[in-house]
Amino acid sequence: MKRGDRISAIDDNLEGTVEKIENQMVFFKTDDGFTLQLPIEKVVAIGNILDTINLHKPKEKLVKKTIKQDYNKIPVFDLHIEKLQAKHHHLSPAQKLEMQLNEVKRILQEMKRKHHKEFILIHGEGKGVLRKEIEKILRHNGFKYMDASYHKFGNGGILVIK
């Protein structure tokens, strides 16, 4: 991560452009012009997945986030509802969950098709409902999984391994 990179907060609906990194803190300017800072482990660099995945839902935007690892770059998919659909406040919790689970199924199909061996799903640190449902889908489809890096995602991410 360097000055000028686009970033997103892991546990919040914040995005912006890196201005500087100092003492393990990332200083960034939001699209609204506010300068904020977050610990480096609470943000990830973002890119546009439209370049790599053919979306079946033209109105919905999926953001691909990439974190740098020693051995390669792993796709990171944020399943927070505000990342999947901007106008979601009218939806019931069941409808939001259904939308998130449909997105998980779509991501699994794309990752299989693209022959990705591993990727990360960010589900957040809520009540655990979404995580349990994701785990059911992963087991049913023959994927192995484990907690993603606590340092990067807290208890809110799953590393999926094919």
pLDDT at 62 > cutoff 80 = no
d(CA 108, CA 100): 12
Mean pLDDT of the chain: 81
pTM for this one?
0.57
Local structure of residue 24 (DSSP, 8 states): T
> Given this model, what pLDDT does residue 14 score?
78
- CA–CA gap between residue 42 and residue 158 (Å, rounded): 16
CA distance 61 to 71: 28
Q: What does DSSP say about strands 73-78 and 118-122: parallel, antiparallel, or unpaired?
A: parallel
Q: Are 48 and 55 in contact (CB under 8 A)?
A: no
pLDDT value of position 36: 86
Model pLDDT for residues 138-162, shown as the tens digit of each residue: 999 999 999 988 888 888 999 999 8
Please name the CATH architecture into which domain 44-161 falls.
Answer: 2-Layer Sandwich (3.30)
For tokens 């020693």, the residue is 70
Average pLDDT over residues 7-13: 76
Report the C-alpha dihedral over residues 86, 92, 98, 102, rounded to 10 degrees. Answer: -10
**Residue range 82-141, pLDDT digits in tens:** 888 888 889 899 999 999 999 999 999 999 898 888 999 999 888 899 999 999 999 999
Where are the chain's structural domains? 44-161
Judge whether 46 and 65 are in contact, CB under 8 Å.
yes
